[in-house]
Homo-oligomer: A and B are copies of this chain.
Amino acid sequence: MAENKTLCAGLGTDIQSGTFLMEHEGADLLRKYELPIARSTIAKSKEQACQIATEIGYPIVLKGMSREIIHKSDAGVVKVNLKNEDELTSAYDEIVKNALKNNPGADIAGVLVQEFVPKGMELIFGIKKDPTFGHQLVIGLGGIFVEIIKDFSMRMMPVSVDDVEEMLKELKSYQMIEGYRGKKGINKQLIYTICLSLNDLIEEHPEIEELDLNPVIFTDNDAYICDVRILITKHKEKELVRKDLSHLKQMINPQSIAVIGASTNEKKNGGRLFKYVVENGYKGKLFPINPGAKEVKGYKAYPSLLEVPDEVELACIIVAAKHVPDVMEECVAKGVKAAIIYSSGFAETGEEGKKLQEQILAIAKKGNILVLGPNSIGIASPNNNIYTAFGAALETKVKVPGNIGFVSQSGAMGSALLSRAWEQGAGFSRWISVANEADLTTSDFMEVLIEDELTKVITVFMEGIKNPKAFSLASARALKAKKPVLVYKTGRSSIGKRAVQSHTGSIAGDDAVYSSVFKKFGVLRINRIDEIIDVSRAFTVQPLPKGKRIGVITASGGACSIIADLCSEKGLEIPELVDTSEEIKKYIPPFGSAQNPVDVTAEVIAVPEMFKKVVENVMKDPNIDGIIVMLTTNADPGAFIIAQSLIEIFKENDKPLVIGRLGADNIAPQAMELYNKEKLPVYPTPERVVSVMDYLVKYSEILKEKGIT
């Protein structure tokens, strides 16, 4: 870090608010990391400039250096392709004149004499430091491509060679880098070397806020960084504070619960919460705290937490915000291990609420109490009948246990999704509303869900990340454990961001940075709300495909065509069947298609039994990694026979079988009941079926890329 100090010290300006290095300073810094900056030396006089030019060799480029002039070309202090001493001397004079015209008080540090770089393909490398996730590397093709087509890719630093390879492939202009139509591309080794050097630079100089290498010119065997622009600010390292999470057990599987604010009036939140705890079959000790009641729903009520004669592991606090500090003090006195604060009126409401939130957190810390919330809707654990949660979703009659672990930063969205998912038959291991994340955050619960054997997939509804290091660690652990992490994130647009900021304590970062971070850690980003449930369900029941070769079976040419369109758009392959097409021909009419995509035709209505034979054959074809069945309309009893067949095949095989059914549920109630009973999801549209398969394939590819088997 000595280097760092020197660098800042030499500038003598306000580092806090950000200072640009002059190009020659930037060039000196890059040289130390063996970054291929074009040859250049700063000249303090015209004579010196001529001497340097002779050493470098004509033609040369001159650039006036002044801390006061950031946009050099606009200021007229850059002169290129100077072929001899005459041209150099007159250009030198002009630069000095323009610099002073541009800014009469400009302090001119000298004129940079730079080699004139040969023509070649131009790339841009950039680094930006995200306030949440730190340094991000950006790569794009020069000029118009980045500026107008917005064709760039981004990854969280440090990057590996594989990361860089992936980044290049993400570019729309990738073909140009590869070379096309006889035109040579770029030697990628040169790109990798630059990126790895930038890793080192950033590691030793975390104070770099922004860096532009623009352009970097690539010839056959060399790269030339023609210009460098570096912004530095004072660096503050954020340390990951390791929380003591030993009391999480009492938060999620409490042996005893006190509900402070339990009401006898079930129209009130406190009444509803207590009702849900009781009516959903909580088996532990339960203490309603309510000074105005003798009992609540048959449970003896206590006027205060301190009067409960037994131990209390979890306090569920659902009183007005202003009373929460007192209650929290009682929790400390009582030795409570964990608290869920449902009350609103804290950080989400503005400055005053924020102070109140800090106050209760300080009290909780005294007693080493873990806090969920405030403004939380709570936790639902269907597998062990613990529902310390309220919200309209709890009105659902059939609460399905299962293997989705769900963490939501938005209470309303999380609750709505829970109700919709249950309605569709999706089962949950845990459902957690983290809300204000005053203490426990999304990442903490990701850790819980990684450990939880009943959780097969971790799904997050996200507005922003509080603790990026914790999120990175949790994501990396989940990947290693082969538990897919799915994230739907709001605030993609700037208007969206406004809404997020006004509502929650978290600040939405730049959306592209989130994508960059998700890619880095193998997190699957979900793009549509209905896919949150669809894809989560799939990961709880489907085996992972070994590749992206999809067998498609429908009873309609129209459906074949649609699925084929969608697979093609996602990059899924629909290869020929190599072994089974002849066998399939035996079961379908001659005007059907026994090749992939397979069309069994409307004949399936008359002979539903044939469907099983066909699907079995596609399933065992060695050229197929996964199967999509898209049903159109079929009614019971034919639909029921097909459902039986598909469930049987699904159980006996280890390739994914993703089923769609466009026709109404109400003409096939028996079939739909069977699918539901067997927990095999049936998706209503071709788009949703193909998207689910695409996510299964993507995750399988991520595991392969990261070498996790």
Contact = CB atoms under 8 A, between A and B. Distances in A.
Interface in A170-213: 172-173, 175-176, 180-181
A181 B685 CA distance: 45
Question: Which of A181, A353, A529 gathers the greatest number of chain B CB atoms within 10 Å?
Answer: A529
A658 B662 CA distance: 24
A222 interface: no
Nearest to A552: B499
A702 interface: no
Interface string A222-256: 00000000000000000000000000000000000
A615 to B, nearest CB: 17
Interface stretch (A108-116, A291-299, A405-413, A512-520): A405-413
Question: Which of A181, A463, A500, A564 gathers the greatest number of chain B CB atoms within 10 Å?
Answer: A564
Question: Which of A461, A497, A502, A590 gathers the greatest number of chain B CB atoms within 10 Å?
Answer: A502
Contact of A411 (B149, B396, B602, B667): B602
A344 interface: yes
Interface in A442-491: 461, 463, 490-491
Contacts of A106: none
Interface stretch (A154-162, A555-563, A580-588): A555-563
A392 B667 contact: yes
A495 to B, nearest CB: 4
A496 B564 contact: yes
A556 B687 contact: no
Given A562-B529, A687-B530, A633 B490 contact: no
Contact of A499 (B350, B391, B502, B599): B599
A144 interface: yes
A81 interface: no
Contact of A494 (B353, B500, B568, B666): B568
Contacts of A349: 590-591
B395 A556 contact: no
Given A147-B180, A564-B498, A686-B529, A662 B493 contact: no
Copies of chain A in the complex: 2
A281 interface: no
A662 B148 contact: no
A169 interface: no
A344 B101 CA distance: 85
Given A392-B605, A496-B565, A632 B413 contact: yes
Contacts of A635: 392, 395
A416 B463 contact: no
A622 interface: no
B599 A503 contact: yes
Contact of A173 (B149, B345, B416, B562): B149
Interface string A642-682: 00000000000000000000111111000000000000000
Question: Which of A147, A504, A633, A667 gathers the greatest number of chain B CB atoms within 10 Å?
Answer: A633
A381 interface: no
B664 A422 contact: yes
Contact of A495 (B558, B568, B590): B568
Interface string A407-426: 00111110111011011000
A357 to B, nearest CB: 13
A574 interface: yes
A556 B555 CA distance: 42
A561 B529 CA distance: 13
A361 to B, nearest CB: 19
Nearest to A529: B685
A123 B561 CA distance: 35
A263 interface: no
B420 A664 contact: yes
13 contacts: A147-B180, A149-B149, A392-B667, A393-B663, A411-B602, A412-B557, A412-B602, A415-B632, A415-B633, A416-B632, A490-B561, A503-B557, A529-B687
